[in-house]
Amino acid sequence: MKKEIHPKNYRQVIFHDNSNGAEFLISSIIATKETKKWTDGKEYPVHHVEISSASHPFYTGKETVIDTAGRVERFKARQAATTTKKPSKK
């Protein structure tokens, strides 16, 4: 690897997938506040992600709905409210 071409904070970071708990140790410059021990016994910075290759339907072949903010429920509630309010025209 060439010297002096990477940023100063280029280091190993643990990426933790919140949807299924998978973890990856990858080189990155992302800013983190928390640290965690890896399988090698060393402590690394941790960054949490909502979805990764371990949980994405394209890579896993399984279609799942990951809704951390409740958007699907709010959409269904709005849809149900609009369909019940419409009077039928004759």
Looking up tokens 């021990």 gives 37
pLDDT for res 44: 95
Structure tokens at 63: 């279609």
pLDDT for res 74: 84
Looking up tokens 């506040």 gives 33
Given a cut of 80, is residue 67 above it in pLDDT?
Answer: no
Indicate the average pLDDT of the chain. Answer: 81
- Residue 13 CB neighbours (<10 A): 21
Per-residue CA distances from 14 to 26, 59, 67, 71, 84 (Å): 6, 20, 23, 28, 48
pLDDT for res 76: 86
More confident residue, 56 or 17: 17
